[in-house]
Structure 1
C-alpha cells in the first residue's frame, strides 16, 4: 500500500475537489424516513470577495452539515445570494461612469445583474476551494424572478392580512443615498458638537440644531419646572423667522439639560416625533430628500444642512439671539452604508406592522446558542416604537407590485397569480374599481431585508409543491445582524405561517486581526482566505476556524495558529503513513477484539479512543467545535503518536503473530475512527486517509460509534502505568547518556501488572514484576539549607554554616 512520504495539500485538495460527486450533499425532498436537518444559511452580499469572516462562518456551517449527514440526517445546506442593494448600484455607477438616472431603469438594472453574476462566480470558487459541502441544487439568488416572486407574494399576503400598509409617517432618511432606511440600518457614533443657547422671545432655549429653527412647531417645558411653568399655554416667536409657536408642558422635558426649555422641530430626533404625535402639532418640512433646505427656510433655501447651520449660527450671533455656546458630545445616527448623518423626514412609505409580543414570545421558543445572545433581540424589540419601513427609493431591488389609479388615486396591489412583475414595465390585468385603465406604477422598491427575511421559508419549501418543512433546524449567523436578519425573519415567519422559523440559532463572532482590531482596509490587517489556502491549505484554514474560539466569541486570526494547524496535518500524515505500512497484510474484521485477546496497552488505547468519540459527539451536538477538534489533536499527537505507537513498535516488527495482529487491529480501528472524526473539519485530509482503508467516500460514511464495552477505567489506569514506566525508563537512559534502544540488565516493577510485553519491547529490556514493597537504601544526595531557620538563629555565622552544609 503506497503512501507518499510527504503530505502535499496543494495536490491532494484539488484532486478531491474535482473527484467529489456533489450530489452526495443534496437534500432529498421525498425522504421522510430520516430526520431532516435544514440549515437557513446566510445569503452573503455578492461583493466578489468571500472574505475571512464569511469563510469562518461557513466553516462552522459545514462542520454541522457534514456531522449531521454522518449521523444519518437528511441535511439541506443551501447557498443563497442576497443580491439587491445600494453597494451594487454605486459600483455600477463607478464602473460605467454614470449615474442611475442617466440610463433607462431596466438597462441600469441589467448592469447591476451582470456585475452581481460575475461576483457570485468569484465567491463560488473560494467556497469550493474551502471544501464546503454545499447543496448547490438548492441555491437561490434573490435577484432572480424565481426567488423574488416569493418576496412579492409575501408582500401581497401581508397586505391582505393588514400587516403591510402605506402611510405618510416620519422615517429615517439618508440624504446621500436619497432613501428611507430602517432603524436597524442606523448606526450611532459619538461626535462633538455645539450646544447653542438662544434668546427665544421671553424664554431661553438650548439646541444643537439651529438649522431646524424654520421647522420649529412648539416650545416645551416640564410642568414641574417652577422657573417657566407660567409660560405654558402662551406663544413665543421663533428667532429670525418671526412666526409664533405654542409653549406646551410635557413631563418628558429634562429640566436639567441646557436651559430646561426645548424647541420641538419636525424632526430633530425621535423625541420630536413622539411630541409631534402626542400634541397633534403641525408639520413643517425644512429639509428635502437631498439634504438641502426647503422654501420655508427663507433665505437659506437651497443650502445644504451644514451650510445652513453655519449661516444661521452667524445670523443668530449678529442679531443678538445667540448668547452662549458649549461643546457637547452627542450620539449621532448615521446611515450604515455611507456613514452620512441621517435625518427624520415625513414621507409616504410602505410599512410592515411589528408585533413586539409575537416576536418576543417566538424568541423564547428558539434555542439560542449561546443563550446570552437572545438579550440583544429582546432589548432591540422592546425599543421598537415605529413599524418597519419596507420601501426604498432605489432601483436594484425587488419591485413593489403596486399601481395607482390616475383617475381616483386608488392603490391597486397585484394579485398573486400575476407575479412576478415590475410595475414600471407591466400594468395591472384588470381595471380600477372606478373603471379607469390608466395607472401610475409604484417606483419605490422593497428593502433588501424583505428578500432575506424569507430565507427560512424558502429553504423549507414555502410556496412550492413540496411539503412545508418549517421550522428549519438551524440558523447560523453573526451577532451583528441579530436586530435585522433574526428580527425580520421571526416577524415574517410568524406573519406568513404562524410558525417559528427555526429550532435553534447559532451566533458567531467577528474575525479580528492579529492586532486585536476588527479587520478593515483602513487598518491594513485584512487577510484573505485565498492567501491562507495558497500558503498552507484549506484544511489548515478550517482548523483555525475550529479551534479559534467558542461559539459567539470573536476570533483573532493569527498566522501561528495556521502554522500549528499545518503541522498537525503533517504529523497526522506521519502517523497514518506509519500505520498503513504495517497494515498491508491486514484484513479488517479478520478477527474480533475478543478473539485477539488484546494486550492491556491496546485495550488502553481503545478505551481512550471510545471515550474520545463520546466526548467529541457531545461537543458536536453542542456546537462546541473548538473543544471537539482540540480533543482530536491531543489524542492523535500525544496518546497515539507519542505513547501508543512507541509502545507497540516491538510487536509490529517482532515475530509474535498474535501480538502483531492485535496491534494491527487496534491501529486500523483507530485510523478508521480518526478519519471519521476528522471528516467534518478537514474533509480533504480525511478523504485521503479513508481512500486507502475503506470503500467509497468518507463523506458518505456513518459517524464513529461509541463501543461502551471498550471503555474501562481500570484498563486506562493500567495503561497509564505502563506508559509512565516506559517514560521513566527512557528518561533514565537519556539522563545517563544511553541510547533509547540500549538494553538494561533488568527492570524491576513492584506492584500488580500482568502484561509487561510492551514495556519490554519499548525499553528493549527484560521486566520482572515483584509483589510487595521494594527495600530502598536511602542515600542523601544533596542538602538544601533552610534560611528561614538558620538565618535568625546563627545570624553572622549563617554564611559559614551554609558553606559547610553545601
Structure 2
C-alpha cells in the first residue's frame, strides 16, 4: 500500500471512520454469549447543539476504555443517548423565538422543542462521528421518544405502588424566571455582595425595641415569629413577648431555639415563610402559620399589602425606603452572602410552598451510602463528594416540574374529590391531557369526570434509569446490569451518580454500577471556566478542523489526571499534531520493509538482535 507523503488528518480520519462503521466493529454482539461483556453507561448529553471541549474530553476517556476492552476480548456495549427534555431546551427555544412558554399553546411549544432538539442532535452526532468515537449507534435513544419515556413512566408507576413516590404540599426551591420547582441538586450558589439591614422592632407593651439584622427586608410581611438562642442572656426576658413587625405592623411572638446563631447580626432572627431552609424547619417545628408572600412569577402577593404586585427587587427597595422614613433602620452594612440561583438561568431561587410530586429519597440515603462504599471510585476521593452530598440533603427529591417539554406525569384527579388516579402499566406511554384514566368512575366518590395532571417530570427522572434501560428493563439481560463503568464529570456526581443510585435501588434493589470514573472540567487558556461570555471559549470543531481529531484526542488523553481540571492549550494540541506527523513519517519509512513477502512467517527461524528482543518484550508487557 502506497502511503502518501504528507499527513493530512482531514482526509485520513473520515476514511477510516466510515470503514469502521461499515464493518460494524463497534457494535455490541447481542447473540454472543461466550465473550465477557463490558458495559459503559455513557452520559446522555443535553442536545444543546454544541460539542464543546468538555464533551470532547469526556468522550475521549470513554472511547479509550471501550477500545481497550475490545482489544482485551470483551463484547463492549458503548451506547449513546440524548437527554432531550427539560429546562435547557425550553430556555433555548424561548431565546431563539423571543417567546415565553405561555405565549403559545403547549402542543405548539413542544413541537418547537422537538424540532430544535432534532436539529441539534444531528449536528452533535456528526461531531461525535468526526472525532472517531467507537460508539454503537444501533443503541441510540432519545428520551423524548415514546419508547423511552414509557420506561420513565413505568418507573413512576412502580415506585408509586411501592409508596416511594407521593404527592403533597411542601416548600420547594422555585425559579421565578423558569416558573417551576427545581431540586436541591439544581440550585447553584454564587457569592454576592448584599446589604445587612439592622431594623428596630417594637416590643409590644414594653416601650423597648429589639434590633434584628436581615439581608431580606422584603420578607418582613411574611415574618411569623422571631427567635433567640435559649442561652443568650441578652434576650431571655423577652421570650414569650410580642413584637410589632414593621412596616405593616402585624405582631409575632419571640421564641427560643438552639439553632439560632447568637453571633450573627444581633443574635435575634426573623422566621419568615420562607427565607431559607432553616425557616422551613422552624415553621414545621413550632407549627407556625404560612404566609404565601411571593407568587410563581416572583411578584409580591396580596399578603404584601401595599407592596403587592411588585417584583422582589422593587419590594425590597420600597420597604427599605419606608423603614428609613419611619426611622426604623439603625444601620446598614455590606455583607458577603452565598445566594442560591437556578442552575440554568442563574435567577435567584425562592422557597415556595406548592403541591408537588416527590420521591422518598431520604429513606434510601443510608443504603445509597452503604452501596457507594462498595463501588470503585476513580479517583478514590470522589466517594467523599458523593457521601457529603447525600448527608447534606434535607428534603425528598421534588420530581414534578411546571414546564412543557418533558415526560408527562401519568396521573389524573377526580374533578369532584381530587382523588389521585395513576395509570396502569399496560396503558403506558400515556399523555393525561389526551388519554383517559384507567377507570370510568372515581373509586372514592363515584364521579365520572377527571382532570389531567398538568405538571411534568424532572428530566433526571428520564436519565436516572439509563442503566436499566440499556439492560432491556423491565425484561433484564443479566449480562448488562449492573454497568461496569459509570463515567461522568465532577459536576454531576450529586445529580446523575446519586439519582442513578437511588432510582435503581428503589426499582431493582441493587446498585447500578461497579466503577465510577470521574473527569474534571475543561478550563480556558486563562485558567477560568471556559465560557463564551468570558472570551475564552474554544469550539472543538475548529480545533479538529485545524489539527485533526487524533491530535485533539491526544491532548485530552495526556492533559490531566482523572478528577482534575484541565486547561485547554493550543500548544498541546499542536504538539499532538506534530507527534502524529512524525509517527506517520515513521510508518511511511518502514512500510517498504513490511511487505508480506519480506516478512518471515516462521518465528522460530527469525534471528532477532538484542534490541529487537527488548522491543518485543516491552510490547508483550504492555499487552499483558
**Which runs of structure 2 are paired with 1:90-239 in the superposition (5 Å)?**
90-202=91-203, 203-239=210-246
Are 1:293 and 2:300 counterparts? yes
Counterpart-to-counterpart distance in 1, 2:614 and 2:95: 66
Aligned to 1:506: 517
- Cα distance in 2 for residues equivalent to 1:404 and 1:601: 79
Q: After superposition, what is the alpha-carbon deviation per residue over 1:326-354, rounded to whole angstroms, capped at 9, x for unaligned?
A: 11111111111111111111111111111
Q: Distance in 2 between matches of 1:375 and 1:183?
A: 18
Superposed, which structure 2 residues align to 1:262-281 within 5 Å? 262-281=269-288
Offset at 1:2? 2.5
SS in 2 for 1:347: strand
Shift, 1:362, TM fit: 1.4
Task: Look up the SS of the partner of 1:292 in the other structure.
Answer: coil
The structural deviation recorded for 1:17 is: 2.2
Q: Give the whole-Å Cα distance in 2 for the aligned partners of 1:22 and 1:362.
A: 40
Matched residues in 1 for 2:51 and 2:115: separation? 18
Selected match of 1:428 from 427, 431, 437: 437
2:618 is aligned with 1:608: yes
Question: Equivalent residue of 1:564, what SS?
Answer: helix
Question: Match of 2:254, SS?
Answer: strand
Q: Structure 1 unaligned runs (5+)? A: 614-704, 707-806
Residues 263-294 of structure 1 show CA distances to partners (whole Å, capped at 9, x for unaligned) of 10011011111111111111111111111111
Aligned partner (choices 547, 551, 561) of residue 558 of structure 2: 547
2:206 corresponds in structure 1 to none
Alignment of 1:147-546 (within 5 A): 147-202=148-203, 203-354=210-361, 355-431=364-440, 432-433=442-443, 434-464=445-475, 466-467=477-478, 469-546=480-557
Tell me if the contact between 2:600 and 2:606 (Cα under 8 Å) persists in the aligned partners: no
2:608 paired residue number: 598
CA distance in 2, matches of 1:378, 1:22: 44
2-structure distance, mates of 1:8, 1:102: 51
Give the Cα–Cα distance (whole angstroms) in 2 for the partners of residues 204 and 91 of structure 1.
Answer: 46
Deviation at 1:255, TM superposition (A): 1.2
Task: Give the TM-score normalised by the residue count of structure 1.
Answer: 0.74
Structure 1 vs Structure 2 CA RMSD: 1.5
> Is the Cα–Cα contact under 8 Å of residues 196 and 332 in structure 2 kept in the other structure?
yes
Structure 1 residues 468, 179: closer, same or farther in 2, change over 3 A? farther
**Structure 2 unmatched runs, 5+:** 204-209
Cα distance in 1, alignment partners of residues 350 and 359 from structure 2: 21
Q: After superposition, what is the alpha-carbon deviation per residue over 1:42-86, rounded to whole angstroms, capped at 9, x for unaligned?
A: 000001111111111101111111111111111110001000112
Helix, strand or coil at the partner of 2:259: coil
Q: Equivalents in 2 of 1:608, 1:69: separation in Å?
A: 21
Does the residue aligned with 2:25 lie in a helix, a strand or coil? helix
- Indicate conservation of the 8 Å contact 2:46/2:88, yes or no: no
SS of equivalent to 2:381:
helix
CA distance in 1, matches of 2:253, 2:418: 36
Structure 1: distance between partners of 2:162 and 2:510: 16
Q: Which residue of 1 aligns with 2:8?
A: 8
CA distance in 2, matches of 1:588, 1:80: 45
Pair 1:169–1:22, CA change in 2 (3 A): farther
Matches of 1:193 and 1:526, distance apart in 2: 30
Paired residue secondary structure (1:169): strand
Q: After TM superposition, where is structure 1 displaced by more than 4 Å over at least 4 residues in a row?
A: 465-468
Shift in Å, 1:505: 0.6
- Preserved CA contact (<8 Å) 2:487 2:518: yes
1:30 CA drift (Å): 3.2
Assess, with a 3 A threshold, how the Cα gap between structure 1 residues 288 and 244 changes in structure 2: closer, same or farther.
same
CA–CA distance in 2 between the matches of 1:511 and 1:80? 22
Query: How much has 1:542 moved relative to structure 2?
Result: 1.0
Q: Which residue matches 1:797?
A: none
Any idea what SS the aligned residue of 2:613 has?
Answer: helix
The CA distance in 2 between the partners of 1:330 and 1:489, in whole Å, is 32
Report Cα offsets for 1:205-234 as digits up to 9, x if no partner: 111111111101101011111111111122
Q: Give how far 1:395 is off.
A: 0.3
Contact 1:205 1:258 in 2 (8 A): yes
Deviations 1:158-204 (A, max 9, x none): 11111111110010111111111111111111111111112211222
Q: Separation in 2 of the partners of 1:152 and 1:401?
A: 7
Counterpart CA distance in 2 for 1:428 and 1:450 is 22
Contact 1:193–1:208 (CA under 8 A) maintained in structure 2:
yes
Matched position secondary structure for 2:492: helix
Query: Does the aligned pair in 1 maintain the 2:424–2:438 contact within 8 Å?
Result: no
Scaled by the length of structure 2, the TM-score of the pair is 0.96
Q: State the Cα distance separating 1:587 from its structure 2 match.
A: 5.0
* Preserved CA contact (<8 Å) 1:462 1:468: no
Please state if 1:38 is matched with 2:39: yes
SS in 2 for 1:24: coil
Alignment of 1:70-109 (within 5 A): 70-109=71-110
Distance 1:596 1:179 in 2: 73
Contact 1:22 1:135 survives alignment (8 Å): no
Q: How far apart, in 1, do the equivalents of 2:28 and 2:596 lie?
A: 39
**C-alpha distance in 2, partners of 1:279/1:80?**
48
Distance 2:150 2:600 in 1: 56
1:389-788 aligned at under 5 Å gives the runs 389-431=398-440, 432-433=442-443, 434-464=445-475, 466-467=477-478, 469-584=480-595, 586=597, 588-592=599-603, 594-611=604-621, 613=622, 705-706=623-624
Q: State the alpha-carbon separation in 1 of the partners of residues 33 and 595 from structure 2.
A: 42
1:470 and 1:499 in contact (8 A); partners too: no
Q: Quick check: which one's strand share is greater?
A: 2
SS in 1 for 2:119: helix
Report Cα offsets for 1:461-510 as digits up to 9, x if no partner: 21247457311100110001101111111010100001111100100111
Q: Measure, in 2, the Cα distance between the counterparts of 1:328 and 1:172.
A: 23
- 1:259 CA displacement: 1.3
